[in-house]
Chains A and B, each alone.
Chain A
Amino acid sequence: MGVQTIGANVKRLEDPRLLRGEAAYVDDIQVPGLRHMAVLRSPHAHARVLSVDVGAARALPGVDDAFSAADLGAQPPAIPALFAMDTFHPAPQYPLATDTVRFVGEPVAVVVAESRHVAEDALELIEVEYEPLEAVVDAYAAIQPGAPVLHANAPDNVAARQVYQTGDVDAAFAAADRVIRERLDMQRYTGIPMETRGVVASRDAVTGELTVWNSTQWPHTVRTILAGMLAMPARAIRVITPDIGGGFGVKADFNSEDFLVPFAAVRTGKPVKWIEDRNEHFLSIAHSREQIHEVEIALRDDGTILGLRARHITDCGAYQRPLGVINASLSATSLGGVYRVPNYRVEAVCASTNKAPASPYRGAGAPESTFARERLLDIVARELGIDRAELRRRNLLTPEELPFDTGLASAEAAVVLDSGDFPAGLDKALEMIDYAGFPARQRAARDEGRLVGLGICVYHQITGPGPFEGGSVRVDPTGEVTVVSGAAPMGQGTATMLAQIAADELQVPYDSIKLVFGDTGRLPFGMGTYASRNAVMAGTALVLAARKVRDKAEELAAHLLEADPADLVLEDGAFSVKGVPASSVSWAQVAAAASPGGSRPAGMEPDLESVQYFENLAAPYSYGIHIAEVEVDPHTGYTTVGRYVVVNDAGTIVNPRNAEGQIVGGVAQGLGGALMEELVYGEDGQPQSTSFMDYLIPGSLDVPDVEIGHLESKSPLNPLGVKGMGEGGAIGAHSAVANAVADAIEHLGVTVTRTPLKPAAVWQLLRSAGASA
């Protein structure tokens, strides 16, 4: 074995061009003759659309085109849902509202013009006649009889429903010493990347090929959906993901503009660009997280969990886009965590409301279920008088019980916990934060009138789900290595991570490898970047392709050296005969021989390239333990996060700095969810958080330094032993911080049952306990 780069803390290949301002995000794409699109959006949460008149807009100088749903054909194409539940009443969104608008911000008409300024001028000239309807914005209210109905095919506003169960949960509850119930609510919040969405489309007048640059995390899926909606063959559409300025899951969706921009380019015959402004982003980016949990737990007096029984209502907003049921499905199948829960029943209900459609955001259902479970466990610990760490330890699955088949299957994969040491992770985190010393710290603070708390969260997450990912490796006759991956990363450092993997397989320097992502013209099949799948799926596809290339190269090198392949070693970018270093051929020499016309063994096909697909339905599960210490200001309810500890187990770590960057960045987002972020709607369905003044994301003064410990339980499900880990920080932090705030104030006689714990919310709790000054 030669040099090993996997595990090395090497610097990122991505950085120099990003630091120089030389990156190409979608708004940086320029095409000659480019036109600009602007979107007219519904100002109503719920209204019938009586008429749309785009005539005056079309007549404005500088305007190329203006159109509404009526121009999309008698049967406009709908955005498809890719997953369903047992009970499923599809509520598809049309790219432009047809006869009804169902959320503020829903696209109604568009203008294409010589500039965005002129396009927005023209929007003002579009006449829309609305007949307002009563709106419903609360998911619980939406599914009650008599609520305003969004879609005729689901008069109860239940778009989807499924029960997930194992064991005999009712018998477990009947036999329990204790049953504890709670309603726990998580608010609506979402990814809010610094780069908004954007699309550029250009159709080649000669070939008819449509090229689409889209800040999407799954270009191949966008191509497939587009082909269906545009009724064009997929081979005539090339979707390219340029550099992405953050995605966090909300760019793995299909929104109206993903169709409207290519459609406008085809319709006008001109290249068209649309860049979402921040206001549009808040109105219509995939919203996420909002769930109501009615959860109950059956226990023995010693804290042993006998069963979990729950109903959760996911606020899915007005429509089901491609991943509309995923949050609900993953949440329903992950409520048990990595604990021993022999009897389990969760009813997942997807409610339609007059708000922006929901879709996964970093964690995709796991932050929601984790909050319900970890908050409930703290409430249980208090009621049973058992230390909360001890309660968790008693119920955590042990390494001897793994792999553990929960008997559940989400819309994505069976829930089988493949590997790990959960109790060891918990103990390591407790030691790092000095849990044993915390009661004294808390007592001392309380003696000074200060409110400090510690919160624990044990989370797990599905990572790297299938069904496949693709990758190719080719070695040019110059010896240069190019990797093409189906991944479409958005800042994780994936180029570096994959280059490290390829470097080890091919024994070339990692920084000599060229990575190509997110281009349907370069790889026929791909899935993209979401669900923490780059290392697991793209990494493994790359291993398969690199090994094919290496095996062929070795055979060819043996031919060139007139040696037995078994006698060759690959080191420092060259194949040589063992013990005879002078007898050696470089990758360049082998690749030159492999090129057509070169010297190859009889029957060997030319070229040195392999395209491989890793097909795998079994998803590895990573897990971690987060512990936060916070201080709550008794006068204002303002929470400051002090120390923060994470123990993370994602199997083999390819690049430690990438991994830690994912953890810390995720913690910041989870902290934001626990303390400040919320997409607020008024009772009339008007969004009230449509700028960075109303929707706060954590700044540099809000996020603490995060102390990180690693465990490495290698996954048996792939040759690298990797598990995904991009989402874990956001899953663990929300509940660790919320539990810490609860610990700081619950001795006053209150219970924390919802987030975000904004100062005003905490102050209200303190006030209800008579404790605020």
Chain B
Amino acid sequence: MTVPPTTAPTEPTSAPGTTGRGSEQTMHVEDRPAVATPAAEKSIRVTVNGTVHERTVSVRRSLVEFLREDLGLTGTHVGCEHGVCGACTVLMDGEPIRACLMFAVQADGAEFTTVEGLAEGDRLHPIQQAFWDHHGLQCGFCTPGILLTTYDFLRDNRGADEAEIREAVSGNLCRCTGYQGIVRSVQAADETWER
């Protein structure tokens, strides 16, 4: 999938013989460089949820595609592909990042935690448990990103008030809950997570 433009679409040319997608600038075929074959590949080695993976990936494969399609970790979701919604948030070397905004090859040597790495066997992580107990999710699509954002926030903060929690999760969009259940869940996890 391509990264969509983040600005208003450019007005199309009106000359006959042009082509283009809805919001991309059109151009004459002869002006365009030949389509690159996606041959360029590179080997990478990453650690995800404690497991080491060595793979050869196309250089244009995004990190989130790599996690989802090459490693089968489909708990990380793709919501916008332009770094705004936060659904693809994972921890890279302990810090939350947007997996849609970097290429897999840029992740060579890094260590990741995804939502699949939170629970210990049958036991949900205290953050997951709090979200279950306090109705912190509805459709669940944004949830993995919010759990990892919360993990990062609570790891470094204790006793945050509601305003601080709202600030902490403000980089993750949720269209279902209105955030009230998310805030309650983070508050609860702050108390139950022994860290």
B75 closest partner in A (C-beta): A21
Cβ-defined partner of A491 (8 Å) among B26, B77, B140: B140
Asked if B58 is an interface residue, CB under 8 A from chain A, the answer is yes
Asked if A192 is an interface residue, CB under 8 A from chain B, the answer is yes
| A115, B2: Cα distance in complex, Å | 12
Chain B residues within an 8 Å CB radius of A25: 74, 77, 141
0 or 1 for each of A681-704: is its CB under 8 Å from B? (1 = yes): 000101111111110011111010
| B70-106, CB < 8 A from A | 73-82, 84-85, 87
Chain B residues within an 8 Å CB radius of A684: 11
Asked whether, in the complex, the Cβ of B8 is within 8 Å of the Cβ of A690, the reply is yes
Q: Given that A19-B124, A20-B119, A21-B74 are contacting pairs, would A195 and B79 also be in contact in the complex, using a CB cutoff of 8 Å?
A: yes
| A113-151, CB < 8 A from B | 115-118, 120-132
B12 closest partner in A (C-beta): A43
Asked whether, in the complex, the Cβ of B37 is within 8 Å of the Cβ of A194, the reply is no
Chain A residues within an 8 Å CB radius of B50: none
Chain A residues within an 8 Å CB radius of B76: 21
A11 closest partner in B (C-beta): B132
Q: Given that A246-B176, A279-B4 are contacting pairs, would A131 and B139 also be in contact in the complex, using a CB cutoff of 8 Å?
A: no
0 or 1 for each of A145-172: is its CB under 8 Å from B? (1 = yes): 0000000000000000000000000000
Asked if B157 is an interface residue, CB under 8 A from chain A, the answer is no
Asked whether, in the complex, the Cβ of A667 is within 8 Å of the Cβ of B178, the reply is yes
Cβ-defined partner of B170 (8 Å) among A12, A667, A699: A699
A43 closest partner in B (C-beta): B12
Chain A residues within an 8 Å CB radius of B138: 246, 491-493, 661, 665
Chain A residues within an 8 Å CB radius of B29: 56, 125, 127
Asked if B60 is an interface residue, CB under 8 A from chain A, the answer is yes
Interface range on chain A: under 10, 10 to 19, 20 to 34, or 35 or more?
35 or more
Chain B residues within an 8 Å CB radius of A669: 175
Asked whether, in the complex, the Cβ of A277 is within 8 Å of the Cβ of B21, the reply is no
Asked if B133 is an interface residue, CB under 8 A from chain A, the answer is yes
Cβ-defined partner of A19 (8 Å) among B80, B140, B142, B169: B140
Cβ-defined partner of A706 (8 Å) among B18, B116, B124, B180: B180
Asked whether, in the complex, the Cβ of B175 is within 8 Å of the Cβ of A61, the reply is no
Cβ-defined partner of B38 (8 Å) among A117, A131, A492: A117
| A442, B55: Cα distance in complex, Å | 64
B172–chain A nearest beta-carbon distance, Å: 8
| A122, B183: Cα distance in complex, Å | 45
| A194, B179: Cα distance in complex, Å | 14
B63–chain A nearest beta-carbon distance, Å: 15
Chain A residues within an 8 Å CB radius of B173: 194, 692, 697, 699
Asked whether, in the complex, the Cβ of A43 is within 8 Å of the Cβ of B26, the reply is yes
Chain A residues within an 8 Å CB radius of B131: 15, 19
| A120, B119: Cα distance in complex, Å | 37
| A151-208, CB < 8 A from B | 191-196
Asked if A42 is an interface residue, CB under 8 A from chain B, the answer is yes
B178–chain A nearest beta-carbon distance, Å: 4
| A94-122, CB < 8 A from B | 104-105, 115-118, 120-122
Q: Given that A21-B116, A667-B178, A699-B170 are contacting pairs, would A43 and B23 also be in contact in the complex, using a CB cutoff of 8 Å?
A: yes
Chain A residues within an 8 Å CB radius of B183: 700, 705
| B3-42, CB < 8 A from A | 4-9, 11-12, 14, 16-24, 26, 29, 32, 35-38
Asked if A230 is an interface residue, CB under 8 A from chain B, the answer is no
Cβ-defined partner of B177 (8 Å) among A42, A130, A490, A661: A661
Cβ-defined partner of A21 (8 Å) among B12, B19, B73: B73
| A508-553, CB < 8 A from B | none
Interface size on B, residues (CB 8 A): 79
0 or 1 for each of B145-169: is its CB under 8 Å from A? (1 = yes): 0010000000000000000001101
Cβ-defined partner of B37 (8 Å) among A61, A192, A667: A61
Cβ-defined partner of A277 (8 Å) among B1, B7, B9, B133: B1
Chain B residues within an 8 Å CB radius of A665: 138, 175-178
Chain A residues within an 8 Å CB radius of B174: 194, 700
Asked if A311 is an interface residue, CB under 8 A from chain B, the answer is no
| A665, B144: Cα distance in complex, Å | 18
Asked whether, in the complex, the Cβ of A664 is within 8 Å of the Cβ of B177, the reply is yes
| A57-108, CB < 8 A from B | 60-61, 104-105
Asked whether, in the complex, the Cβ of B23 is within 8 Å of the Cβ of A104, the reply is yes
Asked whether, in the complex, the Cβ of A12 is within 8 Å of the Cβ of B79, the reply is no
| A118, B38: Cα distance in complex, Å | 8
Chain B residues within an 8 Å CB radius of A41: 21-22
Asked whether, in the complex, the Cβ of B180 is within 8 Å of the Cβ of A664, the reply is yes
Chain B residues within an 8 Å CB radius of A668: 175, 177-179
Asked if A315 is an interface residue, CB under 8 A from chain B, the answer is no
Asked if A456 is an interface residue, CB under 8 A from chain B, the answer is no
Chain B residues within an 8 Å CB radius of A126: 19
Asked whether, in the complex, the Cβ of A60 is within 8 Å of the Cβ of B35, the reply is yes
B128–chain A nearest beta-carbon distance, Å: 4
| A128, B17: Cα distance in complex, Å | 6
Asked if A40 is an interface residue, CB under 8 A from chain B, the answer is yes
Chain A residues within an 8 Å CB radius of B79: 194-196, 245, 278
Asked whether, in the complex, the Cβ of B8 is within 8 Å of the Cβ of A19, the reply is no
Asked whether, in the complex, the Cβ of B182 is within 8 Å of the Cβ of A700, the reply is yes
B136–chain A nearest beta-carbon distance, Å: 9
Asked if A375 is an interface residue, CB under 8 A from chain B, the answer is no
Asked if A657 is an interface residue, CB under 8 A from chain B, the answer is yes
Asked if B135 is an interface residue, CB under 8 A from chain A, the answer is yes
The CB with the most chain B CB atoms within 10 A, among A27, A42, A279, A697, is that of A279
Asked whether, in the complex, the Cβ of B35 is within 8 Å of the Cβ of A125, the reply is yes
Chain B residues within an 8 Å CB radius of A18: 137, 139-140, 143
| A193, B175: Cα distance in complex, Å | 6
Asked whether, in the complex, the Cβ of A195 is within 8 Å of the Cβ of B141, the reply is yes
Asked if A283 is an interface residue, CB under 8 A from chain B, the answer is yes
Asked if A449 is an interface residue, CB under 8 A from chain B, the answer is no
0 or 1 for each of A220-264: is its CB under 8 Å from B? (1 = yes): 000000000000000000000001111010000000000000000
Chain A residues within an 8 Å CB radius of B115: 19-21
Asked whether, in the complex, the Cβ of B175 is within 8 Å of the Cβ of A248, the reply is yes
| A27, B14: Cα distance in complex, Å | 36
Chain B residues within an 8 Å CB radius of A129: 16-17
Chain A residues within an 8 Å CB radius of B82: 278, 691-693
Chain B residues within an 8 Å CB radius of A699: 170, 173, 179
Asked whether, in the complex, the Cβ of B23 is within 8 Å of the Cβ of A19, the reply is no
Chain B residues within an 8 Å CB radius of A105: 22-23
| A131, B17: Cα distance in complex, Å | 10
| A217, B16: Cα distance in complex, Å | 40
B95–chain A nearest beta-carbon distance, Å: 19
Q: Given that A12-B135, A130-B16, A194-B85 are contacting pairs, would A690 and B4 also be in contact in the complex, using a CB cutoff of 8 Å?
A: yes
Q: Given that A43-B26, A117-B60, A691-B84 are contacting pairs, would A277 and B4 also be in contact in the complex, using a CB cutoff of 8 Å?
A: yes
| A492, B35: Cα distance in complex, Å | 45
Asked if A383 is an interface residue, CB under 8 A from chain B, the answer is no
| A687, B6: Cα distance in complex, Å | 12
| A388-437, CB < 8 A from B | none
Asked whether, in the complex, the Cβ of B21 is within 8 Å of the Cβ of A43, the reply is yes
Cβ-defined partner of A664 (8 Å) among B7, B132, B167, B181: B181
| A275, B100: Cα distance in complex, Å | 15
| A35-59, CB < 8 A from B | 40-44, 50, 56
| A691, B6: Cα distance in complex, Å | 6
| A734, B138: Cα distance in complex, Å | 21
8 new A-B contacts, CB < 8 A, other than A61-B37, A130-B14, A692-B84, are A11-B132, A21-B144, A25-B77, A42-B22, A105-B22, A277-B81, A666-B178, A700-B170
14 contacts between A and B (CB under 8 A): A20-B128, A22-B75, A27-B77, A43-B21, A43-B26, A127-B17, A128-B19, A130-B16, A193-B175, A194-B79, A245-B139, A246-B138, A691-B6, A700-B183
The 4 closest A-B pairs by CB, nearest first: A21-B75, A491-B139, A245-B141, A279-B4
Enumerate chain B interface residues (CB-CB to A < 8 A): 1-2, 4-9, 11-12, 14, 16-24, 26, 29, 32, 35-38, 58, 60, 68, 73-82, 84-85, 87, 114-116, 118-119, 124, 128, 131-133, 135, 137-144, 147, 166-167, 169-170, 172-183
